[in-house]
Amino acid sequence: MNMKQTLMAAALTLTLLLPAPALCADQLLWLTDVRPARKTPATEQDHAAGTASAADEVDLPQSESKRLWLRRGDDPLRASYVAADAVAGEMHLLDRRGDRLPLVPGVKTAPFHVTVILEELGFYNAYLVERTVRFDTLRVDIAKFEVLKGTCCKKGIEQEQTRAFHDAELPLELVREHHPDEGLMTRITSGDEVVFTVLRHGRPVAGVPVTLTTQQGWRSIRESGADGRVAYTMLRDYFPSWHEFNRRHRDTFLVSASLEEETGGVYNDTAHRSVRYTTTLSGHYYPSSHDYRSYAWGLGLTLLVAAFGGTAIYLYRRRRVQPFKEVRFDEQA
């Protein structure tokens, strides 16, 4: 048995001996509204129809109820859906008035999911908080998802309905700052600047490393500033051929932040020497309209038609002008 085989055997033994949760202990836990269905690439039919196969994997924006799933892993493309019996945390929903509603997961046989009932238009925050003690460390994982009940048809949306809010009781939280003009159908697109604030019990905290991972695995790590803010420009990582391009294509981004404290204590009769807080927030982004809309072609075509039409009418009118011809009548005749 050579060295390579020895190492592989050791790794296999370790895999078999360690409990499953321990293996993925360092993997991020995050909530998403994308169903655990096999995602097929956009087809030419999707392109022609202007629909997205991915768009069908989520509930409609105006739906009264929305389902959320739990995923584990730091890669939005490959993270696995967590089984219902592998989740020890509790979930709750927070509305903009500060009302908290416990969320009860669905059937145990399926992947973990909850159904959120949304009575009013606007944003809601769904949280899952899971606490476990491993290797003398209390791990507090906080997965957050912004649930939006939106509409394109209603006017007079109050600013309050599009406001971002947080749960001050949580030890660590990421809040996406909403754009001042953000409505109930606003989408983040490639090229947009997205700003997050790291909050510790509702207060901004500086110096926390925040990681943003895009659908294709591009990763950027930045530290929160003095005001707890960290900004990213959402990059473009959707490059299909024109026949496969879909303007409604949606990709997922994942943001995470971690903070460790040397604070000892006991949780569920298990002592720990430190606490590690990890919070995640996922969202979606779409192709920018700059990728498929052209002002130059649009205005150029309009001007061309106007110039050509105007010239044609001018020439047509000139052609119909009769030259002056004097006719004299001889009244004597």
Partner 1 sequence: MSRLKDAVNGVDLNRFRFWLQLAFFVFLVYGGFFAVELGNQLPTFSCGYNSEGRAGMCYLMSLQHQLAWPWPKLFGVAALTVATGLGVFLLWFAVLNKAWCGFACPLGTLQDWITALRRRLGVRYSRYTQGQFRRLTTIKYLLLALALLLPLGIGGGMLSKDLRTPFCDICPARMIIPTFTGNFSHWTIDFSTKTAMAMSALGLIVTGLFFIGAFVKKRFFCFFCPMSALHYLFSRLALLRLRKDGAKCTRCGDCYRVCDMEIREIADEVDRPQIMMDDCTLCLKCVASCPEEGALKATFAGIPIFESTERGFVKRMNKP
Confirm or reject binding of residue 298 to partner 1 (CB under 8 A).
Answer: yes
Give min distance, CB of 314 to partner 1, in A.
9
Q: Which position among 30, 34, 47, 112 is part of the footprint of partner 1 (CB under 8 A)?
A: 47
Q: How far is 210 from 256, CA to CA, in rounded Å?
A: 6
> Taking the mean position of all CA atoms in its chain, how far away is CA 98?
23
Tokens of 110: 């399926």
H/E element holding 69? strand 65-72
Confirm or reject binding of residue 62 to partner 1 (CB under 8 A).
Answer: no
Nearest to 184 by CA among 269, 52, 106, 96: 96
Confirm or reject binding of residue 295 to partner 1 (CB under 8 A).
Answer: yes
Confirm or reject binding of residue 60 to partner 1 (CB under 8 A).
Answer: no
Binding residue count for partner 1, defined by CB under 8 A: 29
Confirm or reject binding of residue 246 to partner 1 (CB under 8 A).
Answer: yes
Q: How far is 280 from 144, CA to CA, in rounded Å?
A: 6
Closer residue to partner 1, CB minimum distance, 72 or 187: 187
Closer residue to partner 1, CB minimum distance, 264 or 310: 310
Confirm or reject binding of residue 51 to partner 1 (CB under 8 A).
Answer: yes
Q: Which position among 10, 266, 299, 315 is part of the footprint of partner 1 (CB under 8 A)?
A: 299
Cβ 201 vs Cβ 166: under 8 Å: no
Dihedral of CA 133/113/125/249: which sign?
Answer: positive
First to last CA, the chain: 133
| Piece of 79-87, 143-151, 238-246, 266-274 that binds partner 1 (CB under 8 A) | 238-246
Q: Which position among 9, 18, 88, 303 is part of the footprint of partner 1 (CB under 8 A)?
A: 303
Q: Which position among 22, 48, 195, 315 is part of the footprint of partner 1 (CB under 8 A)?
A: 48
By DSSP bridging, strand 229-233 and strand 193-200 are antiparallel
Q: How far is 12 from 82, CA to CA, in rounded Å?
A: 23
Residues engaged in binding partner 1 (CB under 8 A): 47-51, 153, 155-156, 242, 245-247, 289, 292-295, 297-299, 301-306, 309-310, 313
